[in-house]
Amino acid sequence: MLNQLKQGFWQFSNFGYLTFAIQRRKMVKIFVVAFLHAWKRRRLAQFFYAFRQLHHAEFEVLHVKGRKGGASLKRGGISLGLRGYESSDLDVFFQIFGLKEYEPFCQWILFRLAPNQSILFVDAGANIGLATAYCASRIPGLHAMGIEPFQGNCELAQSHASYEGFFRAGLGSPSQRKFSLEMDGGSGGEWGIRTRASDQGEIPCITLKDIRKQAHEMSLDSGFRVLKMDIEGAEYDVIGSTESSELTWYHALLIELHGPENQRRGLIEMLVKMGFVGYPMGEYWAFQNVRQRMEYGVGVDTEDSGILKDVGGF
């Protein structure tokens, strides 16, 4: 922990960002609150790197909310309202806009889009909508649909990003009807909420087939289609119990895999058999549907065919 602290402060002061923060008093409060949260979760090195990157993100701090460190931020057309340290909002913000977690994926998608081609981005596990907001700022013509089971997150997500359709629901298999919510204590706040199938649950289940139907009804299914899935371990039930045609409808998948390595390996191999090829991207795996590639394959290098030689490289 001490080494992380020394390394973090060296990075921070070496690039002049401590001065940057002091000159902006509102940012100091966010810094202190986020720092304490990172200290508690033993993620100081990542925190300092992310905070350093935020200098380039050019967010204007409009307001800091009370002693818990919530904040209102704005950059261009993006306006964010983040809750304080008792939630996971600052963590998510630093990860997406500081560490730019989705930037490699955005570049990967842009490389594969046909000129002026629209894109449907289905955000399953939308949290507070920051992933959609970031991707929409980087990919022109992006249309989004969101799925999130936690009510508090849903309200923020719809204020942070423009969704064509948003569902307070849990993504599940056709056999599931309702979910209850349970907190994953190790993930922190609303970032680690899991759904659990329960007949007494109050959260409705939505399937990939339902999403496809909704997209068709809203005329959003004619472009490049992407499914992002960060559903805290439920990805195994969803993918394992869904007809392959509902997955291969998408041109690309972005999935955060949870659980032990052998379980992750099994899911990757399942997707490879459906015609996807996988690429590790940070905490996620990106999958390209090679059977759809001929339709929207502008600029795809044939060497990037993605034959997965080693699916164990986590």
Q: Are residues 264 and 280 in the same domain?
A: yes
Regarding whether 108 and 69 lie in a shared domain, the answer is no
Q: Which residue has the higher pLDDT, 93 or 300?
A: 93
Residues 222 and 274 in one domain: yes
**Within this chain, do residues 114 and 51 fall inside the same structural domain, yes or no?**
no
| Residue 22: pLDDT band with limits 50, 70, 90 | very low
pLDDT in tens, 213-233: 999 999 999 899 999 999 888
Q: How many domains does the chain have?
A: 2
Average pLDDT rounded to a whole number, residues 127-137: 95
pLDDT in tens, 173-188: 877 777 766 666 544 4
The pLDDT score that the predictor gives to residue 103 is 94
Nearest to 46 by CA among 37, 55, 33, 58: 37
| 219 plus 259 within the same structural domain | yes
Cα–Cα dist 119/127, whole Å? 21
Structural domain contains residue 313: no
Domain assignment present for 246: yes
Helices and strands (H and E) in the chain: how many: 12, 14
Domain boundaries, position 226: 103-292
Q: For residue 306, tell me if it sits in a domain.
A: no
Q: What is the mean pLDDT of the chain?
A: 76
Residue 11 confidence (pLDDT)? 40
Mean pLDDT computed over 46-58: 59
Q: Which of 102, 29, 12, 97 is nearest to 57 (CA)?
A: 97
Q: Are 83 and 154 within one domain?
A: no
In this prediction, residues 225-249 reach a mean pLDDT of 92
Residues 127 and 207 reside in one and the same domain: yes
Domain-terminating residue out of 57, 81, 98: 98
Domain limit, last residue, from 98, 117, 134: 98
Residue 69 lies in a domain: yes
Q: Is the pLDDT of residue 68 over 60?
A: no
Above 90 in pLDDT, residue 130? Answer: yes
pLDDT digits (tens, 9 = 90+) for 1-12: 445 444 444 344
Domain annotation covers residue 248: yes
Give pLDDT, residue 198.
65
pLDDT at site 15: 33
Q: Does any domain span residue 16?
A: yes
Q: Closest Cα partner for 163 from 218, 117, 97? A: 218
Q: What is the pLDDT of residue 36?
A: 64
Residue 312 within a domain: no
Same domain, 256 and 222: yes
d(CA 129, CA 154): 8
Judgement on whether residues 178 and 35 belong to the same structural domain of the protein: no
Question: What CATH number is associated with residue 211?
Answer: 3.40.50.150
Residue 84 sits in the same domain as residue 107: no
Do residues 21 and 130 both lie within one domain?
no
Which of 160, 158, 196, 154 is closest to 179 using CA atoms? Answer: 196
Segment 262-314, tens digit of pLDDT: 999 999 999 999 999 998 998 899 999 998 754 444 333 334 434 333 333 32
Give 34's pLDDT tier (boundaries 50, 70, 90).
low
E strand or H helix that includes residue 81: strand 78-82
